[in-house]
Amino acid sequence: MSNINENKHIAVFSLPFSSHPLPLLNLTIKLAHQLPNCYFSFIGTAKNNQTLFSKTKTPINIKHYNVNHGIPENHQLLHGSELNLYLQTGQENFQKGIDLAVLETKTPITCIIADAFVTPTFDLAKTLNVPWIPVWIPMSCSLSVHFHGKEIRQHCTVNDGNKTLDFLPGLSVLRVEDLPHDPLMTDTEKETALTKALASLSTILPQAKAVIVSFFEELDLPLFVQDMRSKLQLMLYVPLFNLKPKTQVNDEIDESGCISFLEVQKAKSLKVVYIGFGNTVIEPPKHEIVAIAEALEESGYPFIWSLKENLRSHLPNGFLERTKTRSKVLSWVPQGRILGHGCVGAFVSQGGCNSMLEGMSNGVPMIYRPYFADQGINARLAVDVWEVGVIIEGRVFSKNGLLKGLNLLLVEEEGKRFKENALKMKKIIEEADGPKGLATKDFKKLVELVSSS
């Protein structure tokens, strides 16, 4: 990085868990290409940085720095505790990442971009007297839940289920059962570092120079947008899920064999089911994996299933052998390329924001089984606003429920409507992500903000 002579140095703080780090790295790469004379220091844990940077080509003006993961030696990890331990390391830990970056570049930090969950970076930016630009990676409108948490607790309890949230601006379509748990927490429940961070968002985000949301304004709910813009200094729509140039995707080798498999099914005029739950911290329980397998076997549809190696033991005995002529079951698959193939007729997903957008941007109808976080909100919008899919019957995988959903999308007349709507969404996203889209204009504003800081 010796050729860089400008005095701009942007620190980027990731949340090194689940599907959060990659979108933020995508944003960093795009900014680094636009601002080749600026330093970008990507700060996270050693394990996550190694995973990210070993798989991704980055410009010369990006370098990663490691900070403490917060896990004590010989500590017995409980489910989800890694994230809380990382956030508990606080401002002092993240300052060490900055110190490393400044020492090497000999350039002080001029701006902090951070995953909005990493709230200690707000105080760090104040200490350094630099702009703070948080990035909201979940579904954009899930922000409203954290801004209106007090009202939600006044009107609703966790047992209200189907009760609609008529009091949330633009989000009356949502139900209590769609919400993440933290806005419904009672006073008797123990707070965690994560729930404290989320509870602070309504106070600290309005103080940010700008808040980036990974979505398209053209798809968002106007009353929600109006409400958020009245609360924030600046809200920029910069979708991060598909920033990778399409030419790179097309040039990839088909190491998984999925594309050749899809070509064979296409020749037979068959519609393929794709099952993928993304890089999620919640894994489907054994009985749901069994239900998925039983439904796939009985359906007769060809399928590709992205299933982690450690979950294969949950599959029914002989399942892989009995379905091997019409299936691919792999621990990793090129999801974007699979969804972009014309013969995929249904996408079974947990409803993560990135996966949902990837499905819609490829015109593929979906079956949702939300587990946690913003997934219930995403599924509700996809089903009741955009009408591109269905939520699994009972919100839990069962053999009959999945069979019903697959047949609805792939066979029944109503499935044609879902497909038509998915293709409409694909067109809207293509235009929104194009040179005349609002996202392009908002990204230019972000570049100006970063370069002038």
SS (H, E, C) 332-381: CCCHHHHHCCCCEEEEEECCCHHHHHHHHHCCCCEEECCCCCCHHHHHHH
Residue carrying the six token digits 């839940």: 145
Catalytic residue among 9, 115, 314, 374: 115
d(C-alpha 367, C-alpha 370), whole Å: 10
Is 115 designated active site?
yes
Q: Is 31 a residue whose pLDDT tops 50?
A: yes
Per-residue model confidence (pLDDT) at position 187: 65
Give pLDDT, residue 90: 84
pLDDT averaged over the chain? 91
State residue 201's pLDDT score: 96
Residue 259 clears pLDDT 90, i.e. is over it:
yes
* pLDDT band per the 50, 70, 90 thresholds, residue 189: confident
- Residue 17 pLDDT: 87
Residue 245 has pLDDT above 50, yes or no: no
* Overall average pLDDT of the 316-338 stretch: 95
d(CA 33, CA 370): 36
- Average pLDDT (101-128) is 97
pLDDT band at 81, cuts 50/70/90? confident
Residue 147: in which H helix or E strand, if any? helix 142-147
Residue 126 — very low, low, confident or very high, per pLDDT cuts 50/70/90? very high
pTM score > 0.85 for this model? yes
- As a whole number of angstroms, the distance between CA 104 and CA 122 comes to 23
Q: For 10-14, 75-79, 117-121, which range has the lowest pLDDT when averaged over its residues?
A: 75-79
pLDDT recorded at residue 274: 98
Give the whole-number percent of the chain exceeding pLDDT 90: 74
Q: 81 exposed, middle or buried (CB, 10 Å; 0-12, 13-18, 19+)?
A: middle
> What's the confidence (pLDDT) of residue 396?
96
Q: What is the mean pLDDT of residues 111-137?
A: 97
CA trace torsion 443, 449, 452, 453 (10° rounding): -140
Does residue 250 register a pLDDT over 80? no
Give the pLDDT confidence score for residue 71 in this predicted structure.
80
pLDDT in tens, 132-187: 999 999 999 999 999 998 899 888 888 888 899 998 898 899 999 999 877 777 66
- Choice between 269 and 106, residue whose per-residue pLDDT is larger: 106
The Cα 340–Cα 342 span in angstroms is: 6
Mean pLDDT, residues 68-72 taken together? 82
Q: What percent of the chain is modeled with pLDDT above 70?
A: 93
**pLDDT in the model for residue 6:** 66
Per-residue model confidence (pLDDT) at position 449 = 96
Given pLDDT bands bounded at 50, 70 and 90, which one contains residue 53? very high
User: CATH topology of 9-155+187-242+433-451 equal to that of 254-431?
Assistant: yes
The CATH number of 9-155+187-242+433-451 is 3.40.50.2000
Question: Does residue 433 carry a catalytic annotation?
Answer: no
Average pLDDT estimate for 353-374: 93
**pLDDT bracket for residue 247 (50, 70, 90):** very low
**What residue ranges in 61-176 does DSSP mark as E strands?**
62-67, 111-115, 132-136
More confident residue, 186 or 55: 55
Whether residue 361 contacts residue 242, with contact meaning beta carbons closer than 8 Å, is answered with yes
Check residues 184 and 358 and name the one with the higher pLDDT: 358
Mean pLDDT of 246-255: 57
What mean pLDDT is predicted for residues 378-382?
96
Can you read off the two tokens belonging to residue 82? 């890694």
Across the range 423-436, mean pLDDT stands at 93
Q: Where are the domains of the chain?
A: 9-155+187-242+433-451, 254-431
Average pLDDT over residues 242-268: 72
- From 9, 20, 64, 148, active-site residue: 20
Q: Which CATH number fits domain 254-431: 3.10.129.10, 3.20.20.100, 3.30.56.10, 3.40.50.2000?
A: 3.40.50.2000
Say if residue 5's pLDDT is above 50: no
Question: For residues 294 and 275, what is the distance between their CA atoms, to the nearest angstrom?
Answer: 13
